[in-house]
């Protein structure tokens, strides 16, 4: 039921196009929409017979006020809606990030000696652009294969400026470049190769293969068998690269397909990228926060999607009808400068393509459900842990610390972070400890926490800016007290508990000032603490072993005459540790920069001298 304030505003709504803003009790904008007729569209939200979906009902329940902006046309309302969504980021609107620039393959066919480039933005510079290539398409691999197959330059030299200035690089020796840097190929011949690449990128695979086949037969007739063999290999490579792209349409036109699936409060938009009849990639977007119906959600998604610097094809296919396809076409025309067809196919080949995208969207919904269940389980584990530890606040961020050393040597500490019950590995940190601390875990822990909450924070690491809601120490009550002392000195009030293990070195429970707290082994809180304990221990041990192995390697090699700092570093880098150096024979050791044959034999003799004397 609308409040009196809203009822008054509903009566005054104008009979014209515009944009409306829904606000919560704090004045925050929670939803922005557009309307052909503001009076009709906005009132629908507050009619009990409106038949809204669950998300819309939830949004309406939080509306405390509304506002609107009158526009001269529906197009103006569409553009304004998109701009306001981007500015205010309302909770119940679709929010797409602007930083997602998919890669393109660029051919500078407007140059005398064309280049092939990997770029993320389209410029109006006369070059040809192919893409975009979204997640799931290995554009880097394709980029490198094209250079190898057509034997074009891999370097960044500028031709003809740099012709003859240097010797040809290793790619020429490997047969992967025809060395335009040596003048081995004319500008016309070189451009012809790039026209073949462009034809291949346009989907004219057979045209490229037929041309290469003709060249192969001519070379064979002229008894140029090496050239014929090279062309044969190139034909096979082109065929293999072509088969990686799935033919999905007999229509040669470029098109983007947007399919929306919704189930149990979850919504997903699947995007298919079809270029010259081939599916070059796909992408999925979670739009579960949208409080609109299917048509509105899809229209809003497409509008925001093409606000970025995306390539806009000649045709856009939608899985659901939208209110005004012509208006969306006009909006896209303003962005693209060319006409784009927007269609919701009901039958035929395009309908089958949309159905395929819709099927993929539905599968993504199933994956989202699985992930949602996992999130609920993780949230339940955190809540259960908070209850067991009698915490006032359910801990969103948990940090855990462990010390690792060998009799006080190579002492290190690890910090692992769990956010909402999930490992946040990008925020893990290692700490190298002062050797003077020695074999004193309590002192080490005080030192680490002091660095974490003061020195490291001053160094500007943004990950340290957020304080934890709970600290779990890998150890008993001694480590807990050491941590509490450090926090007291810093004036911080953060709950601290220890993670204790049983005789078999497995997680047993949690210990605090009031003794040990037993967690049921079958409970989710126990599994969470066990995961935290295993993770912090693993992270500390790995770093400690790395430092220890490095020091062992350095000390062993220091005993060999002729091994200085540079050679020692190069040996360790090449062989990844002292054990591999011990296993290497003189021939392998000689391959290391700066290691002569006599020195390699001296290294080998140092580790195998007694066994080799016969």
- What is the dihedral sign for C-alpha 572, 578, 579, 581? positive
| Residue of 263, 277, 453, 457 whose CA lies nearest to 372 | 263
| pLDDT of residue 1 exceeding 60 | no
| CA–CA distance, 543 with 48 (Å, rounded to integer) | 62
DSSP 286: E
Rg (CA), the chain: 33
Q: Are strands 104-107 and 116-119 parallel, antiparallel or unpaired?
A: antiparallel
Any idea which of 196-200, 241-245, 309-313 has the lowest mean pLDDT?
Answer: 241-245
Place of tokens 């880098």: 573
| CA–CA distance, 296 with 325 (Å, rounded to integer) | 12
Q: Are strands 409-419 and 278-286 parallel, antiparallel or unpaired?
A: unpaired
Helix, strand, coil shares, percent, the chain, to 5:
45, 20, 35
Q: What is the mean pLDDT of residues 308-330?
A: 86
Any idea which of 245-254, 325-334, 497-506 has the lowest mean pLDDT?
Answer: 245-254
Q: What is the mean pLDDT of residues 588-594?
A: 86
Exposure string over 457-496, b if 16+ CB within 10 A, otherwise e = eeeeeeebeeebbbbbbbbebebbbbbbebbeeeeeebbb
Tokens of 281: 């990639």
- Find which of 429-443, 445-459, 581-595 is predicted with most confidence, using mean pLDDT: 581-595
> Are 375 and 388 in contact, with CB atoms under 8 Å apart?
no
Look over the chain and give the mean of its residue pLDDT values, rounded to a whole number: 82
| pLDDT of residue 409 exceeding 70 | no
- Which residue ranges form the domains of the chain, and what is each CATH number? 4-88 (3.40.1440.10), 255-367 (3.30.420.10), 397-548 (3.30.420.340), 558-612 (1.10.150.20)
Any idea which of 35-44, 79-88, 208-217, 449-458 has the lowest mean pLDDT?
Answer: 449-458
- Find which of 44-48, 210-214, 358-362 is predicted with most confidence, using mean pLDDT: 358-362
| pLDDT of residue 294 exceeding 70 | yes
User: Greater confidence, 288 or 457?
Assistant: 288
Whether pTM > 0.85 for this model: the answer is no
Any idea which of 68-72, 97-101, 572-576 has the lowest mean pLDDT?
Answer: 97-101
| pLDDT of residue 318 exceeding 50 | yes
Greatest CA separation for the chain: 106
The reported pLDDT for the residue numbered 19 is 94
The reported pLDDT for the residue numbered 613 is 37
The reported pLDDT for the residue numbered 169 is 83
């Amino acid at each position: 039921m609308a409040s009196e304030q809203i009822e008054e505003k509903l009566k005054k709504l104008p009979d014209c196009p515009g944009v409306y803003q829904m606000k919560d009790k704090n004045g925050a904008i929670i939803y922005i929409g557009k309307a052909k007729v503001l009076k009709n569209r906005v009132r629908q939200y507050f009619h009990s017979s409106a038949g809204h979906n669950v998300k819309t009902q939830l949004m309406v329940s939080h509306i405390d006020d509304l506002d609107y902006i009158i526009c001269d046309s529906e197009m103006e309302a569409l553009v304004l809606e998109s701009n306001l969504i981007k500015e205010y980021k309302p909770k119940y609107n679709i929010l797409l990030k602007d930083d997602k620039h998919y890669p393109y393959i660029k051919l500078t066919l407007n140059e005398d000696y064309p280049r092939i480039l990997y770029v993320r933005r389209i410029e109006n510079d006369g070059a040809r652009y192919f893409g975009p290539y979204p997640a799931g398409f290995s554009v880097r691999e394709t980029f490198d294969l094209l250079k190898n197959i057509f034997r074009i330059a891999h370097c960044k030299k500028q031709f003809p400026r740099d012709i003859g200035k240097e010797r040809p690089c290793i790619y020429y020796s490997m047969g992967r470049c025809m060395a335009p840097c040596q003048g081995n190929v004319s500008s016309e011949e070189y451009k012809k190769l790039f026209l073949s690449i462009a034809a291949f990128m346009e989907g004219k695979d057979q045209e490229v293969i037929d041309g290469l086949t003709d060249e192969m037969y001519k070379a064979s007739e002229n008894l140029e068998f090496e050239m014929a063999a090279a062309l044969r290999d190139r034909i096979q490579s082109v065929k293999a690269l072509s088969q990686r792209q799935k033919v999905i349409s007999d229509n040669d036109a470029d098109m983007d397909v947007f399919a929306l699936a919704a189930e149990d409060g979850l919504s997903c938009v699947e995007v298919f990228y079809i270029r010259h009849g081939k599916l070059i990639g796909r992408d999925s977007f979670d739009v579960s926060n949208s409080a609109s119906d299917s048509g509105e959600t899809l229209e809003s998604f497409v509008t925001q999607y093409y606000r970025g610097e995306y390539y806009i094809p000649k045709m856009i296919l939608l899985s659901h009808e939208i209110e005004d396809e012509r208006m969306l076409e006009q909006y896209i025309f303003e962005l693209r400068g060319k006409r784009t067809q927007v269609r919701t196919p009901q039958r035929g080949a395009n309908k089958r393509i949309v159905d395929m995208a819709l099927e993929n969207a539905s599968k993504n919904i199933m994956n989202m459900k699985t992930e949602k269940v996992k999130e609920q389980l993780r949230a339940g584990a955190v809540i259960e842990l908070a209850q067991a530890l009698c915490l006032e606040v359910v801990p969103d961020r948990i940090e855990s610390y462990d010390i690792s050393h060998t009799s006080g040597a190579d002492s290190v500490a690890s910090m692992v972070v769990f956010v909402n019950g999930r490992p946040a590995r990008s925020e893990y940190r290692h700490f190298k400890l002062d050797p003077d601390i020695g074999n004193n875990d309590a002192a080490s822990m005080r030192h680490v926490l002091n660095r974490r909450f003061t020195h490291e924070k001053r160094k500007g690491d943004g990950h340290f800016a957020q304080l934890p809601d709970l600290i779990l120490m890998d150890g008993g009550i001694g480590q807990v007290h050491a941590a509490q002392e450090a926090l007291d000195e810093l004036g911080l009030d953060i709950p601290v508990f220890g993670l204790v293990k049983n005789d078999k070195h497995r997680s047993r429970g949690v210990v605090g000032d009031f003794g040990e707290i037993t967690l049921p082994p079958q409970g989710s809180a126990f599994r969470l603490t066990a995961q935290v304990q295993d993770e912090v221990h693993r992270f500390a041990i790995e770093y400690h072993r790395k430092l220890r192995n490095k020091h062992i390697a350095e000390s062993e090699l220091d005993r060999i005459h002729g091994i200085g700092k540079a050679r020692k570093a190069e040996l360790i880098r090449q062989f990844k540790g002292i054990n591999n150096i011990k296993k290497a024979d003189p021939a392998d050791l000689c391959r290391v920069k700066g290691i002569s044959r006599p020195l390699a034999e001296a290294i080998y003799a140092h580790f195998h001298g007694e066994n080799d004397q016969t």
